[in-house]
A = this chain, B = another copy of it.
Amino acid sequence: MTTHHLSRRTFLAAAAGAAVPPAFSRAGGALASLVPNSPPSSAENWKDAGVIDLSRSPYAKLKTVPVHAVVIEEGFWSQRRRTNLDSSIPSMHDELVAHGRMNNFLRLIGKSSAPQTGPVYSDSDIYKWIEAVGFSLQSGDQPGLRQTAAAMIGDVVASQESDGYLDTYYVGDRKPLRMLYPTQTTGHELYNMGHLLQGAIAYYRATGNRDLLDAGIRFIDDFLLPNYGPGPNQKGIVAGHPEIEMALVELYRTTGKRQYLDLAGYILHGDPRIPLRPQQIVYMFCGIPFTDRTRLEGHAVRAMYACCGATDYYLETGDASYWKTLNTLWNDLTRHQIYVTGGVGARETGEAFGDPYELPNARAYGESCAAIGNMMWNWRMLAASGEARFADVIERALYNGINSGMSLDGKTYCYRNPLAFDPSGDSADRHTPNGKIRNPWYDTTCCPPNLERTFASLPGYFYSTSSDGVYVHLYDNSEMNWRLHDGNGLRITQRTRYPSSGDVKLTVTPGTPSEFTVYVRIPGWSPRNTVKVNGSAIPGAHPGEYLPIHRRWSANDTIDLSFDMTVQPLRANRAVNDDRGRIALQRGPIVFCMEKLDQQHQEEAKHMCDYVARLDAPAESHFNPDLLQGVMVLEQPGTVVSPTIDRGLYFPVTESEHPTETPTTLSLIPYYAWANRAPSPMQVWIPYTKV
């Protein structure tokens, strides 16, 4: 193992509750001398790549910063990441093993006699778990985890066939089905391989170990490239479930082999030899030229992953038709399709996007994986453009629709992330057995390891570099040690209680004093902002933009940011039926919700919609350290509306309900923390009308 990263001890110390984390306390004084001032040696490239490696991507305006270069210190995300490392990743390993997902590999190498278990995409869950480990190790070695993953990788690699093929489902009697046309549409062979490559690359960037990566390359080089593609002697190819596209581009970035990029482009273009029905083209979000797409539709995760791959392809090729389509789709996303939580996918049927403005709350699908795909896509769009509108989507999804997916104890997960819920309903929902929205295991267990890899990779999303400086995307107590494009070292520390507080102090320390730009993100949700450099206010902060601060920076220069953390009642476009006459409360990046168990007058309020917010009275907020591991809570004046007569389902307008109105205070918690106590009805969107 290399020594560039923090040791586990340091990581844990930083996260163990010290008011002033050790790394932060070191940030003052003569620290500048510690800032490295050298470009990477090519031999060490593997360890200095970011979440994705944009270091040589010609159309990436922003370059990623390696995960290891950013240490998230005690604060909002440290707790979550500690839970991820100590609870989620180990317990998910045990679940995967207990449900036979490793046996699928072991039986192929004579180490298990168990039958094949799980759906066609089961291999990918192992790979995503390895990716989560890989990203974790990028933040500091975990010998136990590393050894566990290494052993699993050994078994995976051993189960690869001599021709490079590797997929534990299509073996034995199912071998003739490999890569047939119908198998390609639903069989997830390329999806599994995409996740293998992503896991292998994350593990390689943490450890330098290429075993799994080389297995992936053998699959591509020996099995896929010779047999599938546009050539006259090759067979048709379709992604089925997009994922392979972004993996191939990342493999190209990692190896420099152009054929991987070209194959990604070929798959994104769609192979005309693969006959697809219109419904398949919609559902799979592949099979026709990506640049023919005009709207988000079909399976939400497929669509998001396809957009990731297409943006990756654009970042390498600069193909303008891709950028145009990606912006068309992004506008569709943000104008018609995204939940206020950053979740996407309105329909359970087909796990799909709905019509424009079709955003039901209780029936919201909002699969955790789709919100993650949304974040991953916007991360790529941000890199391509440097525009803060993409970072706003990342933050919204991250703090809300993704963060909700993992329980506070890290051991159970949401597959769906609805914005309203009644545990007494919905007994038939396969993702809500017995009214439980959080479960330790799903037979389709895509979401849990996806959440784990996301939290493990989080440090890589805080900063980017550009030709003229550095971008600050996310805020939390943290320290970045990295360098500018000219090789000048750069340390940035953040000290903040964000998102409880809107105040963030950045300390900027270049290796050598020099002139460059620090782009600080002004969140789109913050209407009033102040920015001070070394104590002096500077103008120009606009919500939803980066404020460029161009100057000569010297050690310990400070930037004080102050964002507006006033609670904001939000309304939705009138075309969103389910939100009509309702508000959602947001404070900073956090969207809030009401759980019935926190409310007064539980007897009088038959339904959650009987709790009505007063628009004329603002909410108050305070931090409750004893609730849900410490959360902001909101108190919103309102009333409980209890009908005095049961008018039934439909009645003439002339027959008023004459409800009783009881003043009350509505209590809200962050949406991400819902369903961590006893089952209870929940709503994000609160009525403000009594009708």
* Chain A interface (Cβ < 8 Å from any Cβ of B): 278-279, 282-283, 297-298, 334-336, 338, 340, 347-350, 352, 354-358, 360-363, 422, 425-428, 430, 433, 527, 568-578, 580-581, 583-584, 606-607, 609-610, 615, 641, 643, 647-653, 657, 687, 689-691
A576 / chain B contacts, CB cutoff of 8 Å: 649
Smallest Cβ-Cβ distance to A657: which chain B residue = B574
Is A362 in contact with B358, judged by CB distance below 8 angstroms?
yes
Q: Measured between C-beta atoms, what is the minimum distance from A299 to chain B in Å?
A: 9
Is B568 in contact with A648, judged by CB distance below 8 angstroms?
no
Q: A649-B338, A652-B569 are known contacts. Are A298 and B428 too (CB-CB below 8 A)?
A: yes
Q: A573-B647, A575-B609, A653-B570 are known contacts. Are A428 and B363 too (CB-CB below 8 A)?
A: no
A354 / chain B contacts, CB cutoff of 8 Å: 363, 425
Q: A334-B649, A691-B689 are known contacts. Are A580 and B583 too (CB-CB below 8 A)?
A: no
The 4 A-B residue pairs with the shortest CB-CB distance, nearest first, are A355-B425, A282-B428, A569-B653, A348-B349
A298 / chain B contacts, CB cutoff of 8 Å: 428
Is A653 in contact with B615, judged by CB distance below 8 angstroms?
yes
Is B573 in contact with A649, judged by CB distance below 8 angstroms?
yes
C-alpha gap A651/B334 in the complex (Å): 12
C-alpha gap A348/B580 in the complex (Å): 23
Q: Which of B282, B575, B584, B652 contacts A427 (CB 8 A)?
A: B282
C-alpha gap A315/B62 in the complex (Å): 75
Given A334-B649, A352-B428, A360-B360, output 18 extra A-B contacts at Cβ < 8 Å.
A282-B428, A297-B427, A297-B428, A336-B649, A354-B363, A354-B425, A355-B362, A355-B425, A358-B362, A527-B652, A569-B652, A570-B651, A573-B648, A574-B610, A577-B577, A577-B578, A581-B689, A584-B650
A362 / chain B contacts, CB cutoff of 8 Å: 355, 358, 577
Q: Which of B571, B577, B651 contacts A571 (CB 8 A)?
A: B651
Q: Which of B349, B352, B643, B649 contacts A335 (CB 8 A)?
A: B649
C-alpha gap A336/B687 in the complex (Å): 20
C-alpha gap A292/B357 in the complex (Å): 40
Q: A282-B428, A297-B428 are known contacts. Are A691 and B571 too (CB-CB below 8 A)?
A: yes
Smallest Cβ-Cβ distance to A574: which chain B residue = B609
Is B572 in contact with A691, judged by CB distance below 8 angstroms?
no
Is B689 in contact with A648, judged by CB distance below 8 angstroms?
no
Is B578 in contact with A581, judged by CB distance below 8 angstroms?
no
C-alpha gap A690/B428 in the complex (Å): 36
C-alpha gap A74/B636 in the complex (Å): 61
Q: Measured between C-beta atoms, what is the minimum distance from A471 to chain B in Å?
A: 24
Q: Which of B279, B355, B577 contacts A609 (CB 8 A)?
A: B577
Q: Measured between C-beta atoms, what is the minimum distance from A296 to chain B in Å?
A: 12
Smallest Cβ-Cβ distance to A583: which chain B residue = B653
A357 / chain B contacts, CB cutoff of 8 Å: 607, 649
Q: Which residue of A358, A428, A689 has the most chain B CB atoms within 10 A of its CB atom?
A: A428
Smallest Cβ-Cβ distance to A606: which chain B residue = B575
Q: Measured between C-beta atoms, what is the minimum distance from A527 to chain B in Å?
A: 8
Q: A297-B428, A580-B580, A691-B574 are known contacts. Are A334 and B648 too (CB-CB below 8 A)?
A: yes
Is A356 in contact with B425, judged by CB distance below 8 angstroms?
yes
Q: Which residue of A334, A427, A689 has the most chain B CB atoms within 10 A of its CB atom?
A: A427
A282 / chain B contacts, CB cutoff of 8 Å: 427-428
Q: Which of B340, B569, B650 contacts A572 (CB 8 A)?
A: B650
Q: Measured between C-beta atoms, what is the minimum distance from A568 to chain B in Å?
A: 5
A570 / chain B contacts, CB cutoff of 8 Å: 650-653
Is A581 in contact with B584, judged by CB distance below 8 angstroms?
no
C-alpha gap A133/B215 in the complex (Å): 65
Q: Measured between C-beta atoms, what is the minimum distance from A419 to chain B in Å?
A: 11
Smallest Cβ-Cβ distance to A352: which chain B residue = B428
Smallest Cβ-Cβ distance to A607: which chain B residue = B575
Q: Measured between C-beta atoms, what is the minimum distance from A149 to chain B in Å?
A: 35
What are 25 contact pairs spanning A and B, CB under 8 A?
A282-B427, A297-B427, A297-B428, A298-B428, A357-B607, A357-B649, A358-B363, A360-B363, A361-B577, A568-B653, A569-B652, A570-B652, A570-B653, A571-B653, A573-B647, A574-B641, A574-B643, A574-B657, A574-B687, A574-B690, A575-B607, A577-B577, A580-B689, A580-B691, A584-B650
